[in-house]
Amino acid sequence: MHVHGTRNVLTAINAAGVERLVHMSALGASPEAASRYQTSKAQAEQLVRESGLEWTIFRPSLVFGVGDDFFGRVLRDLVRVPPVIPVVGTGGYPFRPVSIEDVATAFSRALQLPDTAGQSFDLVGPREYTLRQLLELVRTELGSRKPFVNVPLPLMRLGTALFRLLPNPPITRDELLMLLAGNTGDPEPARSVFGLELTELEDRLGAIMAAASNN
C-alpha cells in the first residue's frame, strides 16, 4: 500500500495536472530500517522526491487521537488483556507521540507556505516518554492495578511469531521492531515553521480510552 498506493496517487496527480503534494510518511522511514513498515515508507518518499512535483514530506511519530490504533488498541490491550502488563525488554525505548490535531494543522498550513516545498519535517509531540511510561499512563487511565513484568526480548520475538496465527494479534513483528527502535525527534523545526500548539498526550488519553471501550 505504501509504495504502490503512492505510485498510483502520483500517476493520478500528473494526469490531473496537479503540481503540489503533501505526503504522509513516518518517523524512522529509512531503506536501512528493520521494519517493513519503515522501509516501504522510505520507498514511497523516494517516489515523491523523484516525481517532479512541489512536495513536502511529513514524518509523524506515533499519532494519537480518538480512534487511533496504537494507544486505543495495542497499548490498551497490553494493559487490559493479560493477567500482568508485559513490558517489552527494558521498556526504556523513547517516543514523542504527536496529536492528530497537530498533524492535520501541519498538512493544512504547508499548502499555504510555498517555501516548505522540497522539504521534509519530523512531526513529534512536546514530551518524550519511554515505552514503560506510556504503559503507566494507559494503566492509570484504565484504573488498572496490574503489576508490570519485563519480558525478555527472545520471548517477545517468539510471542510475535505465535501471534501471527491469531486474527487480531496484540502485537505484530513490525510493531515490536519499531518499539525497540524508539520513535523520537526534535519538535522545534515543525513547531516554528507551522505554528503548532503541540497538544499533550495526557490531554487526549482519556477520550481515546473511552472511545476504544465503546467499540
pTM: 0.89
pLDDT exceeds cutoff 80 at 67: yes
Cell numbers found for residue 26: 513516518
The per-residue pLDDT for 179 is: 81
CA distances to 84, 88, 164 from 168, in Å: 20, 19, 8
The per-residue pLDDT for 176 is: 84
pLDDT digits (tens, 9 = 90+) for 12-41: 999 999 999 999 999 999 999 888 999 999
Q: Which domains does the chain have, with CATH numbers?
A: 2-213 (3.40.50.720)
As beta bridge partners, residue 87 has 150
The per-residue pLDDT for 107 is: 97
As beta bridge partners, residue 3 has none
